[in-house]
Amino acid sequence: MSASPLPSSLALSLLLVTGCLLPGPGAAQNEPRIVTSEEVIIRDSPAPPFTLQCNLTSSSHSLQYSYWTKNGVELTATRKNASTMEYRVNKPRSEDSGEYHCVFQFFSAPKANATIEVKAVPEITGHKRSENKNEGQEALMYCKSVGYPYPDWVWRKKENGMFVDLLNTSGRFFIVNKENYTELNIVNLQITEDPGEYECNATNAIGSDSFVTVLRVRSHLAPLWPFLGILAEIIILVVIIVIYEKRKRPDEVPDDDEPAGPMKTNSTNNHKDKNLRQRNTN
Ligand SMILES: *[C@@H]1O[C@H](CO)[C@@H](O)[C@H](O)[C@H]1NC(C)=O
Ligand SMILES: *[C@@H]1O[C@H](CO)[C@@H](O)[C@H](O)[C@H]1NC(C)=O
Ligand SMILES: *[C@@H]1O[C@H](CO)[C@@H](O)[C@H](O)[C@H]1NC(C)=O
Ligand SMILES: *[C@@H]1O[C@H](CO)[C@@H](O)[C@H](O)[C@H]1NC(C)=O
Ligand SMILES: *[C@@H]1O[C@H](CO)[C@@H](O)[C@H](O)[C@H]1NC(C)=O
Ligand SMILES: *[C@@H]1O[C@H](CO)[C@@H](O)[C@H](O)[C@H]1NC(C)=O
């Protein structure tokens, strides 16, 4: 590979020329040949624009159409009847990374395709900031990433100011790793050992990213506190009502009796007055 100062396009055309000159096996001559641009690496976002290229350089079959796919899914509005294909991304971000294919569909021959890899540093896009649980319950923490190739996942816990790999001595830790997702499940939470900071770390060939979730574990009685608070309020209220009723009753008894006597005399007095007045007018 010490001869690689040659421009890659020149190297490619040399390869092609030699490929055409050499009398290959009969079948290979009929097979479509696709020339692609180099793989792309997205290092920071936003990264400079990139353009993927595929050229169908030899085919004995008539082309029907061609299109691009990303991670196996057809990219909309890329279908054309053209043997020279381009796909441009103006503001590349980590999520634009993946496995791209250019696909050529012929009238009377199987499809042909070529792969171009677009690689990027993993970027953690989904996570919980904190998880609050009671002792004995289970905690679930997760991280989701974008970035291709898919990362290797590691979970660590902060001990004495440093993140160290999880020690599963109690057998209560369960980890599920998928291509762009990881999950840490801790069962039968312990109030003494489990609270703290947990870090998921995604690492691929291009770089790595990590995120920290804080786990808080409360005592069994914690969920009872609001209930106990309400209970205490009810008790205090009942006590206040009882005291109030007890103080009210002895006051009310004389209140009822006092006005009874004078009121009656008053009313009879009023009648007398009325009678007197009436007589006076007569
Ligand atoms: C494909 O063809 C176009 C037009 O002929 C050319 O500009 C481009 O460099 C080619 N790409 C590759 C990867 O050969
Ligand atoms: C695509 O172009 C080729 C060559 O120009 C032509 O033979 C073919 O019929 C076209 N296909 C469609 C679907 O138009
Ligand atoms: C590309 O070609 C391979 C081999 O023929 C096939 O398995 C694969 O599904 C094709 N990919 C796409 C995106 O068409
Ligand atoms: C922790 O130990 C349990 C029981 O031995 C096991 O099932 C589980 O897979 C282990 N978890 C991890 C992350 O190694
Ligand atoms: C990656 O994550 C997305 C959701 O964000 C999901 O739709 C997709 O299927 C995942 N890809 C793989 C290959 O796991
Ligand atoms: C992730 O872990 C690797 C080692 O396993 C380390 O080199 C890298 O710095 C970590 N990344 C982050 C973002 O902490």
- For the stretch 171-190, pLDDT in tens is 999 999 999 999 999 999 99
Measured from the Cα of 12, ligand 1's closest atom is 14
Three-state secondary-structure class, residue 101: strand
Three-state secondary-structure class, residue 161: coil
Does the beta carbon of 204 lie inside 6 Å of ligand 5?
Answer: no
Whether 254 has a pLDDT exceeding 90, the answer reads: no
Domain boundaries, the chain: 33-120, 123-218
**Alpha-carbon gap, residue 157 to 143, rounded angstroms:** 15
Topology agreement, domain 33-120 and domain 123-218 = yes
Q: Where are the alpha helices (DSSP H) in the chain?
A: 8-21, 26-30, 225-257, 260-281
Q: What is the pLDDT of residue 216?
A: 97
| Cβ-contact 110, 119 below 8 angstroms | no
- Which one of 63, 65, 66 would you pick to mutate in the ligand 2 pocket, going by the greatest count of ligand atoms within 8 A of its CB? 63
Q: What is the chain's mean pLDDT, rounded? A: 83
Does the beta carbon of 154 lie inside 6 Å of ligand 6?
Answer: yes
Query: For 132-136, 162-166, 239-243, which range has the lowest pLDDT when averaged over its residues?
Result: 239-243
The DSSP H or E segment spanning 141 is strand 139-146
Among protein residues, the one whose CA lies closest to atom 5 of ligand 3? 112
Contacts of 237 (CB under 8 A, 6+ apart): none
Which CATH number fits the domain 33-120, given the four candidates 2.60.40.10, 3.30.1540.20, 3.40.50.2300, 1.10.275.10? Answer: 2.60.40.10
The proportion of the chain whose per-residue pLDDT surpasses 70, expressed as a percent, equals: 76
Backbone Cα Rg of the chain: 42
**pLDDT digit string (tens) for 6-25?**
444 444 444 443 333 444 44
Q: What is the pLDDT of residue 92?
A: 93
Structure tokens at 85: 């294909």
Question: What is the pLDDT confidence band of residue 29, given thresholds at 50, 70 and 90?
Answer: low
pTM value > 0.85: no
Among protein residues, the one whose CA lies closest to atom 8 of ligand 6? 208
**Alpha-carbon gap, residue 215 to 145, rounded angstroms:** 21
- At the top level of CATH, the class of 123-218 is mainly beta
**Alpha-carbon gap, residue 68 to 105, rounded angstroms:** 11
CA angle 198, 204, 205 (to 5 degrees): 150
